[in-house]
A and B are shown apart, each in its own frame.
Chain A
Amino acid sequence: MADIESGGGGGHKKGGKVRSKKQSTRVDFTPMVDLGFLLITFFMLTTSMNKPQTMEINMPVKEDLPPEEQQKIKASQTVTLLLTKDDKIVYYFVDGITGEPGVPQVTTFSKSGIRKTLIRENRLRNAAVDSIPLYRKRYENRDIDEVEYKKNIGRIQGFKNGLIVIIKASDDSKYKNLVDILDEMAISNIGRYAIVDITPVEVEMLKATPL
């Protein structure tokens, strides 16, 4: 395969003129190709083409607002999720009439766990969430443009009587749990949620709840 043509080959003939050998200009490229592909392989393996992904977090401004500027929300439209050890979630609703916290329930991060509850409760309070998949489909089919799509999604998710989720991660939870629960917010189309520090009362509640 790797032959370098030696051009001419035979010696000069008897009696003829001394001719300089005609050297072929052909160079064998095989080793060069080998080298090229070796380097390509190296660069392909070392390249990290994918940029890291991120999720955006917006925290409320720390300063206390004057009472007239604070948004009033009904206690009955909130659900408090306490993230605790062993990837478990303890959640409770607040009774709309008495204002007392309901019985804490234990659930997990699985599809049939917290997601089911969140989707059900959100739909109960905000029936418009059902139309989000429709808008998404229309957007994917390019029936509506991005601006309109985002406007509609924002309107539905920001519905004032919709479910409000209060996320409180306990000291036993892991960073992964926080990211997972924020993911669940995106999956179940909950636009209004907040990450809040856990209170001592809730720490006690976690202790009292068998996991």
Chain B
Amino acid sequence: MSKVKVPRKSTYVDMTAMTDVAFLLLTFFMLATKFKPDEPVLVDTPSSISEIKLPESDIMLITIGKEGQVFFGVDGQPVRAKALVEMGKIYNINFTEQEIKEFSLVAQFGVPIGSLKQFLAVKGEARTKIVQPGIPSDSAKNELSDWIWQTRLANNKVRVAVKGDKDTNYPIVKQVIATLQERKVNRFNFITSMESANQ
């Protein structure tokens, strides 16, 4: 009796199909990824049961930090550039071509317009390390109001979103809301995070 010989099979697995799948997924994620714009402050938004999603474009974002610093940002590079030029006219500051270009790449900023030139002069990594004092929004010197107005003139479809830290003191929020109302923005959004109703 001879033994039945089990034929030796190769352990080689064809990887082509797996590679296909891997790269398909990779392509998907690469295309779907939208890198988070760098934020000047870390903001912990309050939670709410609201399930309305924020639209992706035409958003003017007013961020209020924990200590009450106000940051301003808008999407769309031409809108940013136009708003800066108009702001320069109001405050008699001449921004160079280079500075306007630089500014149109800034997602959010929180410096008074007087120190915007120095802010834009700092390049790259170093800029993220600057401690930004926030845009003046009190009644004595309300630059935020002008930013809102000029942005709305530059892009009339823009919608306002307010993103506050949950531990921000109310007076500063009140100030921002009053500023918005003054500029006839009576409808705006508060950015929140998810929560269920039964808590």
Contact = CB atoms under 8 A, between A and B. Distances in A.
Interface stretch (B49-57, B96-104, B131-139): B49-57
A33 B15 contact: yes
B189 A175 contact: no
A193 B52 CA distance: 19
Interface stretch (A7-15, A59-67, A71-79, A118-126): A59-67
B12 A40 contact: no
Contacts of B19: 29, 32-33, 36
Contact of B46 (A48, A56, A62, A175): A175
Contact of B54 (A36, A37, A54, A195): A54
B92 interface: no
Given A169-B170, A175-B168, A187-B197, A54 B191 contact: yes
Interface in B157-199: 161, 163-171, 173-174, 177, 180-182, 184, 186-195, 197-199
Contacts of A44: 29
Contacts of B189: 54-57
B42 to A, nearest CB: 15
A116 to B, nearest CB: 14
B187 A56 contact: yes
Contacts of A54: 50, 52-54, 161, 189-192
A57 B188 contact: yes
Interface stretch (B33-41, B81-89, B116-124, B141-149): B33-41
B30 interface: yes
A49 B194 CA distance: 14
A183 B171 contact: no
A57 B190 contact: yes
Given A52-B54, A176-B46, A179-B192, A29 B15 contact: yes
B140 interface: no
B22 A53 contact: no
Interface in A174-196: 174-180, 182-183, 186-187, 195
Contact of A28 (B15, B45, B166): B15
A182 B48 contact: yes
B126 interface: no
Contacts of A175: 46, 64, 164-170, 173
Given A53-B193, A54-B191, A59-B187, A170 B53 contact: no
B182 A55 contact: no
Interface string A192-211: 00010100000000000000
A183 B16 contact: no
B105 interface: no
B23 A36 contact: yes
B52 A55 contact: yes
Contacts of A169: 170, 173-174
A197 B178 CA distance: 10
A30 B180 CA distance: 58
A156 interface: no
Given A173-B169, A174-B167, 4 more contacts: A40-B29, A47-B32, A47-B34, A57-B188
Q: Which 4 A-B pairs have the closest CB atoms?
A: A29-B15, A36-B22, A43-B29, A176-B166
25 contacts: A29-B15, A29-B19, A33-B18, A36-B19, A36-B22, A51-B56, A52-B191, A53-B51, A53-B193, A54-B161, A55-B190, A56-B52, A56-B187, A57-B188, A57-B190, A58-B186, A59-B186, A61-B184, A111-B199, A172-B169, A173-B169, A175-B168, A179-B166, A180-B48, A183-B50
